[in-house]
Amino acid sequence: MKHETIETNAGWLIALTLVVISIGGLVEIVPLYFIDSTVETVKVAGKDVVRPYTPLELRGRDIYQREGCYVCHSQMIRPFRDEALRYGHYSLAAESQFDHPFQWGSKRTGPDLARVGKKYSNQWHTQHLIAPRSVVPESIMPNYPWLMNKSLSYKDIGNRMRALKMVGVPYAETQAEYDANVKRYGKEVADQLDINKAEENLLAQAKNGNYDGDISSISEMDALVAYLQVLGTMVDFKQFEDGHFAEFR
């Protein structure tokens, strides 16, 4: 094909430009799928500790995305001293392996949330989401009072888990998949990842956790706080010696 043909034919020019540009992306991204240490192995006593979200946490994550929390909050602690001192251990690739899409972010208007789990009480999160300035006077975060009044819709939770299963999140539907999860995570976690028990698990977690302090109904607040409280808590870094995860890079 002559150069002139490409330059005088807009269709060819667009197609071939796209090919040339995507080479730049592909050579950077594709090898990561084949390099062993891209996603760190994080096992305690032979079991994987980073697990997919429970049904309630998953609904909370959906609400997190619906409300656009990611516009202001990142979930990615970078390996710098200032971030280590403020937020804690840097984020591992393994910790966001079940996030579709990931919530890393590249701009922070609010603080990073990668390790916000268990840092504050459920009560604080509920109050802070309803009226942020009642607890943090200098905050510019909007109020989200409706989360408290809107009851959580969870009838489609099974389908939501099935959709994630299609992209590789190990939720289980068959006995064989359940058994594999028992082997990988232990029984307690495997039970939570069972799609057949999704609704039952969601209701039980919301009832036992009572995240929004109102036991009479399951609100969207329950789900969102359950999600926030699990962020960054799956890996207990005290179980690993200092510098362990540096060896994966």
Binding site for other proteins (CB under 8 A): 4, 31-32, 34-37, 78-81, 84-86, 88, 90, 118-124, 127-128, 134-137, 236, 238, 241-243, 245-249
Judged by beta carbon, residue 199 or residue 240, the one nearer other proteins is: 240
Half-sphere exposure of 191 (CA within 13 A, CB side): 7
Within 8 A by CB and 6+ apart from 117, the residues are 228, 229, 230, 231, 232, 233
CB of 10 to other proteins, least distance (A): 14
Q: Specify the 3-state DSSP secondary structure of 151.
A: strand
CB of 37 to other proteins, least distance (A): 8
Q: How many CB atoms lie within 10 A of CB 20?
A: 8
Q: How many CB atoms lie within 10 A of CB 62?
A: 19
Q: CA 60, 87, 79 angle in degrees (round to 5)? A: 110
CB of 127 to other proteins, least distance (A): 7
Judged by beta carbon, residue 78 or residue 165, the one nearer other proteins is: 78
Comparing CA positions, the residue from 235, 237, 232, 238 lying closest to residue 116 is: 232
CB of 113 to other proteins, least distance (A): 13
Within 8 A by CB and 6+ apart from 15, the residues are none
Judged by beta carbon, residue 82 or residue 188, the one nearer other proteins is: 82
Rounded to the nearest 5 percent, the helix, strand and coil shares of the chain are 50, 5, 45
CB of 172 to other proteins, least distance (A): 28
Judged by beta carbon, residue 188 or residue 242, the one nearer other proteins is: 242
Judged by beta carbon, residue 124 or residue 159, the one nearer other proteins is: 124
- Rounded to whole angstroms, the Cα distance separating 174 from 162 reads 12
Q: CA 57, 62, 65 angle in degrees (round to 5)? A: 125
Strands (E), 62-189: none
CB of 166 to other proteins, least distance (A): 26
Judged by beta carbon, residue 155 or residue 238, the one nearer other proteins is: 238
